[in-house]
Amino acid sequence: MLIFDAHLDLAMNALEWNRDLTQPIADIRQREADLTDKPDRGRGTVSLPEMRRGGIGLCVATQIARYVRPKNPLPGWHSPEQAWAQTQGQLTWYRAMEEAGEMVQIKDLAGLERHLRLWNEPVGHSPVGYILSLEGADSIVTLKHLERSHAGGLRALGPAHYGPGTYAQGTDATGGLGIRGRELLAEMERLNIILDVTHLCDESFWEALDAFHGPLWASHSNCRSLVPHNRQFSDAQIRELIRRDAVIGAALDAWMMVPGWVRGKTTPAAAKLQLEQIVDQIDHVCQIAGNARHSGIGSDLDGGFGREQCPADLETIADLARIPEMLAGRGYGADDMEGILWRNFVDFLRNAWK
């Protein structure tokens, strides 16, 4: 079955982690075997061959570059212009993957339908389709830069990431949008750019939903009632997203799947974390909705972590192909499984781009 993964930081891995994602995962891990600069070295799970092997033929692929003001302890770039330049380097990598026949950008309805036909009967080395998204808007120096990004294929945007942002406040921060955030949302609405509410703190979340009237989704978010943290959505937020016809992609970052995870200390084995536990997150959204039309997958695999911080029985991203049997074991039928695996996000895009 085709799988749509609504959140993968592919270009970040290629440029900042220096991973050649066209290579087999074993080769990528071997090349990192002696590196210690990042905690996930030698433990990556994502490569383009593994995506093809698991049927992940369509994804939302990100640009990401945080601007950090003085005294902000988070990693990032020291000016918006530097952050913009980083995102443009990432875009250049995606273009290189297109030229190599590894990927294809999906930016309109005709391209989406063409790609779906290709993956219905994949022949040989089919390219992985990607919808370009920006995670955190700090690199948007001016609204003219947003217009330029849209012309380059940007189709979704999350205004904040971790901490305080230029346009909105993110995970572990507090506060609303401010004037610049509302101006950004208005321009996004004019350009029909999807609002990704993932990472917005509660105040910014509710203000954004009040100000923005275009299409919105949550590319990679889990449920606060299952794993308490401000990074997750409360049931009230989930109900509002459902009311707005959003789709919520379940994420596989371990600390978002089991309560009490301590980064760098807890291990997947000690937490008894298995891939099937992602179905708990999916099912919770389905139970609130009363149907399976608002759930999907936004794995976030290799989003700054590897096998040390994902389910113990997940070797690579290809293991997402095991989720249908897990859904079936919970009583989900074929139509609902197809929706969760790919069609809910595809139908969302069909409506957004019609």
**Tens digit of each residue's pLDDT (9 = 90 or more) over 131-182:** 999 999 999 999 999 999 999 999 999 999 999 999 999 999 999 999 999 9
Task: Tell me which residue of 282, 280, 138 sits closest to 199, measured CA to CA.
Answer: 138
Place of tokens 């096998």: 307
Share of the chain above pLDDT 70, in %: 99
Query: Rounded mean pLDDT of the chain?
Result: 97
Helices (H), 158-221: 178-191, 202-211
Three-point CA angle 12, 349, 61, nearest 5°:
5
**Tens digit of each residue's pLDDT (9 = 90 or more) over 1-31:** 899 999 999 999 999 999 999 999 999 999 9
Task: Tell me which residue of 64, 65, 87 sits closest to 78, measured CA to CA.
Answer: 65
What band does 121 get if pLDDT is binned at 50, 70 and 90?
confident
**Tens digit of each residue's pLDDT (9 = 90 or more) over 61-97:** 999 999 999 999 999 999 999 999 999 999 999 999 9
What band does 123 get if pLDDT is binned at 50, 70 and 90?
low
For the chain, domains (ranges, CATH) are 4-353 (3.20.20.140)
Rg (CA), the chain: 19
pLDDT at 122: 61
Place of tokens 């071997």: 30
- Whether the CB-CB separation of 184 and 200 falls below 8 Å is answered with no
- Whether the CB-CB separation of 225 and 234 falls below 8 Å is answered with yes
Helices (H), 216-315: 235-243, 268-271, 278-289
> Which H or E element spans position 31?
helix 25-31
Three-state secondary-structure class, residue 353:
helix
Task: Tell me which residue of 80, 66, 63 sits closest to 141, measured CA to CA.
Answer: 80
Alpha carbon 11 to its chain centroid, in Å, reads 12
